[in-house]
């Protein structure tokens, strides 16, 4: 049997070898321990199917949802819940949001000293108004010295124990205020292990198309650490095409895996050079949906909370299948696992994968918008005193998730 050549070599993030150069993007309310476990199992399956079962690294890198640094330092119950990992989860990856170098440094120090993470990712890509209007997320790299200070603080605290820090960012605030090339070079200079670019501006949010040419530009500008591409990866073929078109060292996948954790089987297989792809029947999809619900019940320690959490995933899991409006509505209101079982029994489970109906974009695209920013934010790339006060308040105003 001839083994196909891998599309890319394994991804190296500090001391961690990621056999498939694929990263699960942090998504609020999605990439908790339960969902990461599903994705990880499918990634391992894809690697094994492609002949990589004996590989020594992780199949892919699976990152937690965003956690605010201040909430973590204050040990809020929500933040402590979000940094939980399965016993077999390795490397344990945590994404932090922060606007203050001291607070971010303290959060990283806590993760390191208490042995709660093996990798830290910094969020400079969030386009949500409640974050950007205080100067956080995708607004922050505009202030170059603040950005440098946060990255430097995180790298210093993590580096003492050999834990790598990575940065995820966007092209910029809007087409007139791009930040990604400066931010990429600063992050590289400060010792990060990799940089990831979502090839949209904050003004685009998730609308329109990602401009993959910007990933290629960043790859040309940042030469000593891996550059990862993000945006509009809906299939394994999209991921491979991004690598071919941009020269990036790996991909970050977000909305494409919503209700479809088996995408990581496809991705791991594709990067290993295999044509193995998963096209489940509705019965198989419902089996995964039911297991996801069980894992959420376990994660929350409460059946009601777990079932309420699974509700938002149900439309993604059933996308393209003939389910019917009434049943779809009832599925979106489940309160117990037995309710879920009863409703699943009422579906036509013999349906094959609907392909065009289920493939392609997932999640809300939204529309372009004017980015909410602190007063006079764009007048200078340095902070004035009023802006310092705004960013100092930012972590207080973003809840603990």
User: Tens digit of pLDDT for each residue in 92-119?
Assistant: 999 999 999 999 999 999 999 999 999 9
- Average confidence score pLDDT of the chain: 92
Residue % of the chain over a pLDDT of 90: 82
Confidence of residue 358 (pLDDT cuts 50, 70, 90): confident
Q: Is 138 exposed, middle or buried (0-12, 13-18, 19+ CB in 10 A)?
A: buried
User: Nearest CA to 154 among 96, 115, 92?
Assistant: 96
Catalytic residue among 39, 60, 126, 248: 126
Residue 20 has pLDDT above 90, yes or no: yes
The predicted pLDDT at position 359 comes to: 84
Q: Tens digit of pLDDT for each residue in 257-315?
A: 999 999 999 999 999 999 889 999 999 999 999 999 999 999 999 999 999 999 999 99
Query: Which CATH number among 1.50.10.20, 3.40.50.800, 3.30.160.20, 3.20.20.70 corresponds to the domain 11-278+370-397?
Result: 3.20.20.70
What is the mean predicted confidence (pLDDT) over 165-186?
Answer: 98
Within 10 angstroms of residue 220's Cβ, the number of other Cβ atoms is 12
Q: Tens digit of pLDDT for each residue in 217-241?
A: 999 999 999 999 999 999 999 999 9
Contact 168, 198 (CB under 8 A): yes
The predicted pLDDT at position 237 comes to: 96
Alpha-carbon gap, residue 378 to 148, rounded angstroms: 18
Confidence of residue 357 (pLDDT cuts 50, 70, 90): confident
Residue 55 has pLDDT above 60, yes or no: no
Look up residue 229 and give its two tokens.
């591409």
> Is the full-model pTM beyond 0.85?
yes
The predicted pLDDT at position 149 comes to: 97
Residue 173: phi and psi, rounded to 5, are -75, -50
Residue 3 has pLDDT above 60, yes or no: no
Angle CA 233–239–244, to nearest 5:
130
Within 10 angstroms of residue 308's Cβ, the number of other Cβ atoms is 15
How far from each other are the two terminal CA atoms of the chain, in whole angstroms? Answer: 48
Would you kindly state where each structural domain of the chain is located, as residue ranges? 11-278+370-397, 282-351
Confidence of residue 399 (pLDDT cuts 50, 70, 90): very low
What is the mean predicted confidence (pLDDT) over 65-73?
Answer: 94
The predicted pLDDT at position 347 comes to: 94
The predicted pLDDT at position 9 comes to: 92
Residue 191 has pLDDT above 50, yes or no: yes
Confidence of residue 1 (pLDDT cuts 50, 70, 90): very low
To the query of whether residue 126 is one of the catalytic residues in this protein, the response is yes
Confidence of residue 401 (pLDDT cuts 50, 70, 90): very low
The predicted pLDDT at position 400 comes to: 40
> Helix axis angle, 263-271 relative to 33-49, nearest 10°?
40
The predicted pLDDT at position 396 comes to: 62
Q: Tens digit of pLDDT for each residue in 382-398?
A: 999 888 877 777 666 55
The predicted pLDDT at position 356 comes to: 83
The predicted pLDDT at position 6 comes to: 78
| Residues sharing a CB contact under 8 Å with residue 203, sequence separation 6 or more, in sequence order | 127, 173, 174, 175, 368, 369, 370, 371
Look up residue 25 and give its two tokens.
């993007």
Q: Tens digit of pLDDT for each residue in 71-98?
A: 999 999 999 999 999 998 999 999 999 9
The predicted pLDDT at position 81 comes to: 94
The predicted pLDDT at position 397 comes to: 57
């Amino acid at each position: 049997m001839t083994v196909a050549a891998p599309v890319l070599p394994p991804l190296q993030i500090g001391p961690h070898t990621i056999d498939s150069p694929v990263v699960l993007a942090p998504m609020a309310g999605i990439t908790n321990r339960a969902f990461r476990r599903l994705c990880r199992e499918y990634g391992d399956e894809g690697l094994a199917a492609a002949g990589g079962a004996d590989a020594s690294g992780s199949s892919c890198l699976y990152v937690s949802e965003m956690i605010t640094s201040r909430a973590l330092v204050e040990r809020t119950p929500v933040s402590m819940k979000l940094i939980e990992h399965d016993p077999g989860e390795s490397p344990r990856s945590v994404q932090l949001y922060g606007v203050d170098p001291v607070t971010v440094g303290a959060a990283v120090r806590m993760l390191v000293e208490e042995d709660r993470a093996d990798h830290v990712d910094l969020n400079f890509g969030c386009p949500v108004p409640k974050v950007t209007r205080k100067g956080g997320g995708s607004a922050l790299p505009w202030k170059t010295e603040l950005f440098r200070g946060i990255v430097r603080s995180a790298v210093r605290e993590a580096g003492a124990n050999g834990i790598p820090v990575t940065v995820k960012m966007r092209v910029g605030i809007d087409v007139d205020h791009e930040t990604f090339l400066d931010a990429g070079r600063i992050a590289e200079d400060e010792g990060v292990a990799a940089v990831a670019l979502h090839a949209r501006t904050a003004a685009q949010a998730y609308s329109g198309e990602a401009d993959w040419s910007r990933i290629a530009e960043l790859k040309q500008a940042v030469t000593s650490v891996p550059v990862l591409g993000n945006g509009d990866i809906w299939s394994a073929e999209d991921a491979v095409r991004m690598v071919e078109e941009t020269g990036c060292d790996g991909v970050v996948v977000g909305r494409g895996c919503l209700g479809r954790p088996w995408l990581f089987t496809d991705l791991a297989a594709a990067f290993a050079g295999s044509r193995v792809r998963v096209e489940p029947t509705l019965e198989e999809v419902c089996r995964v949906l039911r297991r996801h619900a069980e894992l959420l019940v376990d994660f929350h320690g409460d059946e009601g909370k777990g079932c309420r959490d699974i509700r938002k995933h149900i439309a993604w899991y059933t996308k393209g299948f003939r389910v019917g409006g009434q049943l779809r509505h009832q599925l979106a209101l489940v309160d117990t696992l037995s309710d879920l079982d009863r409703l699943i029994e009422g579906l036509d489970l013999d349906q094959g994968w609907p392909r065009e109906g289920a493939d392609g974009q997932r999640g809300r695209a939204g529309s372009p918008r004017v980015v909410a920013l602190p007063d006079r934010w764009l007048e200078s790339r340095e902070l004035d005193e009023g802006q310092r006060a705004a960013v100092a308040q930012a972590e207080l105003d973003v809840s603990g998730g």
